[in-house]
Amino acid sequence: MGPGWFEEATARSAVGREARSVAWEATPLGRPDAWPVSLRHAVRLCFSTRFPVMMVWGPDLTLIYNDGYRDMLGTHKHPAALGAPAPVVWREIWHDVGPLFEHVLETGEPTWSEDLALLMNRSSFDEETYFTFSYSPLLDDDGAVAGVLDIATETTHEVVNQRRLMMLGELQATLPTAYVDLSSFAGPVIDVLSRSKDLMRAAVYDVESPPGIVRETGTARDEGELALVQRALASGQREVADGVVVKPVRDAGQPGHLAVVVLRATRSRPWDPDYARFLSVVASTTAATLRDVVHRQRTDEALRRRAARSEEESARAREVSMALQRAVLTEPPDLDGLEVVVHYQPAAAERDIGGDWYDAFVTRDGATAVVIGDVVGHDLDAAVAMGQLRALVRAIGYDSQATPARVLERVDGAVDGLGLAGPLTATALVARIEADGGPGGRARTVRWSSAGHLPPILVRGDGTAEILSVRNDLLLGLNPTTVRTDHTVQVAPGDTLLLYTDGLVERRSGGLRGRIDALARLLEGTQSLALEDVVESALTGMLTEAADDDVAVVAVRALAAAATVAGADPESIPAQADVPV
């Protein structure tokens, strides 16, 4: 290798070209034209790959790295790290990685570290990071260990996002379902938030004048927090400042507010749109649940007062059950290019709350998710389990942007990990409706996965009805390691998709398959009916006698003019934060 080998080795690398300006003669390595053959080979390997590679050589562990590794150095370590001793460049984490270097240099054996947590100062602040990497020995011309090769990948984003998603799931499962007072509600919320590595401070304020702290965790309140709380109460709008989110909780039943939620980010992660979105989702989830439980508590109290004045005990119980059910089964949102009609009715012979549910929402990436399910049971436990399961499906389906099969797999894992598997067994079907593009964006793909649920029925624009029969996967709550399957079908403008629970078709007498066939025949030729009339036809045609079970129905029709959904629930996404969590 001639004296121009270094220019040749670094020619195709931006960092390599920068390396030419390093005064290598001032380092223990000396001038590149005097480097041993083994070191030259290692340098050529380093600059020939796009994968992040760093290597050290010589008594001072002199650092050489490529373009892929440059981003791992943050904003302040490059380019000074080129040719510098590794213990100096990584002085703040040397107590973590130094022993690994020593192991390789002394034994010649490689190391392996997976998602290793390192508190780096690479961009002028102490930053929480995670890396998966291997240190391997580099041999000199005589076969002795003279350096270390580091092949690495940064996993910070994946580790932090998974942690945030698990915290959201834990919060959803912990949020109170009944309301006594603000302090009792805030207690379990603050308890969950106190364990989050992504929160430096969390507080719940009352709405007295001046507002006071009901529950808090983490660092003490700074001097500007109260001003942000008062401004949020005055405007009724969420305040998103540098590292802090302040969310006023509107009272759903009357004018005014119920509380204010304050969340402050840690200083170990950069404040970016991801972080702002995450804290806004946490605040909005807490606020929505507080509104619901207060509204439900008021509804319950009103119904109990009515029951005390009424002699019709069964009617009163029915009103209570329906009020509680409606608190969870809300009306679907307005969707761009899709019409959605939902229907729920309890069993005629039951006064308890059922486990049937439906949901429809827009995911963070603009797809439409439609969900239907049935928790085993017809009591308050089933309703509570249904609410928890619906919240898990909604949170994971909204935030993960994953396919229905992956959503259900993660729900299974959350059910098991949060200890819900004992009382919770359910069928569920998650469908994701995606625009396929093309002229006018009219074509769509429906991607769905079924956890033991009944098959959807698709009514085409020509009036034919197709039962989308597939092999069902296991019910939710049985096996957290179940691998689930996605299925797809193309839909066109005018096509109608019908999802339903077993209360619509199952009877004590008669086969289930025959009843599903009868429903499909009943839906044939309904393509020109209004969507509400399609649902009504299914109900009146199939429920010719008193239903033995709750009934939930979701009908979705692709409209002639389809457009891309601009975004999701503004309660869940901060206006200036548009990067996925």
HEC string for 139-187: ECCCCCEEEEEEEEEECHHHHHHHHHHHHHHHHHHHCCCCCCCHHHHHH
Length, in residues, of the chain:
581
Q: What is the pLDDT of residue 311?
A: 55
Q: What is the pLDDT of residue 313?
A: 53
Q: What is the pLDDT of residue 570?
A: 38
Decide whether 5-154 matches 158-309 in CATH topology.
Answer: yes
Q: What is the pLDDT of residue 577?
A: 31
- Please give the Cα distance from 105 to 149 (Å, whole number): 11
Tell me, yes or no, if the pTM score tops 0.75. no
User: What are phi and psi for residue 161, nearest 5 degrees?
Assistant: -65, -40
Q: What is the pLDDT of residue 531?
A: 94
Q: What is the pLDDT of residue 355?
A: 79
Domain boundaries, the chain: 5-154, 158-309, 332-581
Q: What is the pLDDT of residue 323?
A: 56
Residue ranges in the chain whose pLDDT is less than 50? 1-2, 314, 317, 350-351, 562-581
CATH class, domain 158-309, is: alpha beta
CATH architecture of 5-154: 2-Layer Sandwich (3.30)
Closest CA to 401 of 374, 361, 436: 361
Superfamily of domain 332-581: PPM-type phosphatase domain (3.60.40.10)
Q: What is the pLDDT of residue 353?
A: 61
Q: Are 258 and 251 in contact (CB under 8 A)?
A: yes
Q: Which amino acid is at 366?
A: G
Q: Are 82 and 56 in contact (CB under 8 A)?
A: no
Q: What is the largest CA-CA distance in the chain?
A: 103
Hey, what are 144's tokens? Answer: 């002795």
Hey, what are 210's tokens? Answer: 């001046």
